[in-house]
A and B are shown apart, each in its own frame.
Chain A
């Protein structure tokens, strides 16, 4: 059958490559973390941040006196803040853009409950209800996608 030919492609990466690369990746990770720990054992490293501990001088930075005095680090934080805001606004724009596009696409689809088998019935049903419902669903049900650019229906799509 036709779907058999899909099978080799779904496992497009050889298992040898996967296995070898996985082993290398784990080894590299261990070396990197060992290096990050100063090539020492892992004592002390796991309990570094205590942000939620209550009591005097228990939280991180509780003993700070003069704040961050490193200019480049302060700049890096400021520029990352700016990037967060710019990207945040852009991502919000994309959410609204796609939210709207999805709503338009949904308006083209058959309404819930209209099954493929009862094609004719749906078209007839669509025709009998309100005009806008007919524009959206009924006509496309009968005429198919060729009707997309038909005047009057275009606004809905």
Chain B
């Protein structure tokens, strides 16, 4: 049960991923329109002004708490969850995969390491359930979500955190700490979107996470590909991939750099460590950059909903297959596309 050979996500995991993504995106949109409000003024307005944004952030925060507790319970109380936990542990192969990725980029390696392969080629024995990036995402996001939930609960009420930290200023500084913690995740999610949306073999969405590997339409491994190749040569590159990956790659980089710079500029927002006359940066370039990052997040939202759409379509197809008599299943024209 641990080796989910057909793909990475069970139905529950897919649904959970969707809910978590939606919730975290709402937290990002509301939280960072508070922190970077001079760059994302329009987002503040869109969410009902400063009071609306804070309310949205809290409601999404409550949702996140419920989702996290639910997930931890699932991982502990079910066999599948406990089994999958072993798949997350880092191995030496993951380090080797990262080194080999650098070599691959530089041209001194011909293949990516199995622990780096999102591409469906290869058998379940040689390709791990998670890539080294996937494991990193699981670990970093887990730590981040835990710290953010903890600090978020601590600052849930003004009176609570002020009682703990003695002054309103210190309480607000703790809010800053909470916001800065999230910046790592904000940048990581942008990378996550690029990583899973713009692999040339999977563009525009990594369906392996949503449907069985053997049913990925381009998958044609059965015709004697056991000689170490991944079969990627048989796939056709999407006409828009080059442009799309370049544009979104650039937006991702701009977004990451911008939120990083903004988090440094906004130092102690809302309480600066030193007195700053005139407030945060009113830098046009930074405002454009941060909005580029927010656009990447929005794109990720759309892409992952598209992945869910693919899964729903696939499950409907399976259900209709199951109801039909076997004679239909052997129909040549259809079984070709179903695989």
A124 within 8 A of B: no
- The minimal Cβ–Cβ distance linking A16 to chain B, given in whole angstroms, is 10
B215:A3 contact, CB within 8 angstroms: yes
Let me know if B158 and A52 touch, CB within 8 A: no
Q: Is A57 an interface residue (CB 8 A)?
A: no
User: Please, how many residues of chain B have a CB less than 8 angstroms from a CB on the other chain?
Assistant: 122
Give Cα A80–Cα B183 distance, bound, in whole angstroms: 9
B62 part of interface (Cβ distance < 8 Å): yes
Give Cα A124 to B315, complex, Å: 39
Are B256 and A49 closer than 8 Å at their CB atoms?
no
| B interface footprint on A6-45 (CB within 8 Å = 1, 0 otherwise) | 1101111110011001101110110011001110000011
Q: Is the CB of A3 within 8 A of B214?
A: yes
Chain A proximity of B302: nearest CB distance (Å): 20
Asked if residues B233 and A109 are in contact (CB atoms below 8 Å), the reply is yes
Q: Which listed residue, A64, A96, A145, touches B168 by the CB 8 Å rule?
A: A64
Is B93 interfacial (CB 8 A cutoff)? no
**Does the CB pair B66–A77 fall under 8 Å?**
no
Indicate if A73 sits at the interface (CB-CB under 8 A).
Answer: yes
Q: Does B6 contact A10, Cβ atoms closer than 8 Å?
A: yes
Could you say which of A12, A64, A84 contacts B1, with CB atoms under 8 Å apart? A12
CB of A155 within 8 A of chain B?
yes
A135 CB, nearest partner CB in chain B, Å: 12
Q: In the complex, A14 Cα to B77 Cα: how many Å?
A: 11
Number of interface residues of A (CB under 8 A): 92
**Would you give the 0/1 interface string for B144-174, flagging 1 where the beta carbon is closer than 8 Å to chain A?**
0000000001101111100001111110111
CA of A41 to CA of B315, assembled, Å: 44
Interface residue ranges of A46-98 to B (CB < 8 Å): 46-53, 59-61, 63-70, 73-74, 76-77, 80-81, 83-85, 87-88, 91-92, 94-98
Indicate if the CB atoms of A13 and B237 lie closer than 8 Å.
no
User: A80 is contacted by which of B41, B177, B329 (Cβ under 8 Å)?
Assistant: B177
* Chain A residues with CB under 8 A of B176: 77
Contact B37 A85 (CB under 8 A): no
Whether A33 and B237, one on each chain, are in contact in the complex, defined by CB atoms closer than 8 angstroms, is no
Q: Are A17 and B74 in contact (CB under 8 A)?
A: yes
Residues of the B chain whose Cβ atoms lie less than 8 Å from the Cβ of A24: 69-70, 73
B287 within 8 A of A: no
Does B199 contact A105, Cβ atoms closer than 8 Å? Answer: yes
Q: Residues of B contacting A98 with CB < 8 Å?
A: 101, 133, 191, 194-195
Q: For the complex, what is the distance from the CA of A9 to the CA of B214, rounded to whole Å?
A: 14
> Is B273 among interface residues, defined by CB-CB distance under 8 A?
yes
Q: What A residues does B315 contact at CB under 8 A?
A: 10
Q: 10 smallest A-B Cβ distances: which pairs?
A: A145-B229, A25-B70, A106-B200, A68-B173, A112-B239, A36-B156, A21-B73, A25-B69, A140-B233, A60-B270
Given contacts A52-B49, A87-B184, 12 further A-B contacts (CB under 8 A): A10-B212, A13-B81, A33-B153, A66-B169, A77-B173, A81-B267, A84-B184, A91-B191, A106-B200, A109-B201, A145-B227, A155-B107
Using CB atoms and an 8 Å cutoff, list the residues of chain A in contact with chain B.
1-4, 6-7, 9-14, 17-18, 21-22, 24-26, 28-29, 32-33, 36-38, 44-53, 59-61, 63-70, 73-74, 76-77, 80-81, 83-85, 87-88, 91-92, 94-106, 108-116, 140-141, 144-146, 148-149, 154-155, 157
21 A-B contact pairs sorted by A residue (CB < 8 Å): A3-B338, A4-B322, A14-B78, A21-B73, A28-B65, A37-B157, A45-B158, A46-B51, A49-B54, A51-B270, A52-B41, A73-B170, A73-B173, A95-B191, A95-B253, A105-B119, A105-B199, A109-B237, A115-B236, A116-B220, A148-B229
